[in-house]
Amino acid sequence: MRVLVVTNLWPTPEAPARGGFVKDQVEALNAIDGLTVELFTFGLGSREYLRAAAAIRARYRNESFDVVHAHYGLCGWSALAVKHAPRVVTFHGTDLAHRYAGPLSRALVRLVDLPAPVSATLARSGLPHARPPVAVLPCGVNLDRFDRIGRAEARTRLGLDPDGRYLLFPSDPARPEKRYDRARSVADRLDATLLAYGQRPPGEVPLLINAANAVLVTSDREGFGLAALEALACDVPVLSTEVGIARLALEGIDGTLCAPFDERTWADALRPHLEQADPRVDGRARAALFDRNRLARRVFHAYEDITEGT
């Protein structure tokens, strides 16, 4: 089976952290016997979608694919330039919530063979009127990258105080929907240092997670919620608002919290973690349920389903 993936969610030298979750899925798909994935990536900006469509049309005019798979709603419009192949579009969240991209992304649903939001929550909130078939196809956590590292080692490699009180905001503070202000307020209340991903290179992210006493997912919304799973894969305590799959991911794991943000409640839950030298939770087994290889196999089966009889 030959698949073309079309996306602008992909790491670049200027933005090495962009779209790492899509890259993880493509790598996992390429490891499946009988499946070959070709990749078409392009830049950001409204004009780039039209340029991408023209480039796709020219490059693949005489080629055939069994499936065309776009990541991000607007990329699905560019992917329509490939003819005579079933189309899958993975919706990641912002594409459905954005003021302008949202209506365009939802309009695309009737033109593709399989709309695929990354969570059931996103399907209900972002695609409430979509007709079957709709598949939930998240990207999954990379367990090879995210694993337990000794806290002292992680802090040493990052140049952090070995005895510091650190909390981690696992996103870019500039993204308003991630609610850095909430994480900042609870960190200040507890006299803890708040770390954040920002534009740090991807190689530092597992170190940041393991260096932190706990991870704070304070978002207003998440399409799926990989940050919580990445923390669990490292056995690091995580507190999350009720977004994406957080409730399912954290349910029953001592030392975690999934609840609406309340500064006092969250501070009370965090104090025990800040008082321990290396607080950990039993999270990796739960994260493994959402392993990128397992979820890539689910994507492959979706490809098989929509190509049957074609």
- Residues 171-228 pLDDT 10s: 999 999 999 999 999 999 999 999 999 878 888 999 999 999 999 999 999 999 999 9
Q: Do domains 2-140+291-307 and 151-288 have the same CATH topology?
A: yes
Q: What is the mean pLDDT of the chain?
A: 95
- For residue 156, the model assigns a pLDDT of 97
pLDDT of residue 309: 57
**pLDDT value, residue 57:** 96
Rounded average pLDDT over 219-240: 96
- Average pLDDT of the residues in 274-298: 96
Query: What does the pLDDT read at residue 15?
Result: 87
Segment 147-171, tens digit of pLDDT: 999 999 999 999 999 999 999 999 9
Q: What percent of the chain is predicted at pLDDT more than 90? A: 89
Q: What is the model's pLDDT at position 130?
A: 85
What is the reported pLDDT for 80?
A: 97
pLDDT in tens, 178-189: 999 999 999 999
Domains of the chain, residue spans: 2-140+291-307, 151-288
In the CATH hierarchy, which fold is given to the domain comprising 2-140+291-307?
Answer: Rossmann fold (3.40.50)
Our CA angle for 147, 240, 299, nearest 5°, is 60
Over residues 71-84, the pLDDT tens digits come to: 999 999 999 999 99
Answer yes or no: CATH 3.40.50.2000 is held by domain 151-288. yes
CB 192, CB 239: distance < 8 Å: no
Q: How far is CA 196 from CA 103, 130, 243, 259, in A?
A: 31, 36, 19, 21
Q: Give the pLDDT band of residue 310 (cuts 50, 70, 90).
A: low
Please return the burial class of 219, using the count of CB atoms within 10 Å of its CB with bins 0-12, 13-18 and 19+: buried
Q: How far apart are alpha carbons 188 and 287 in whole angstroms?
A: 30
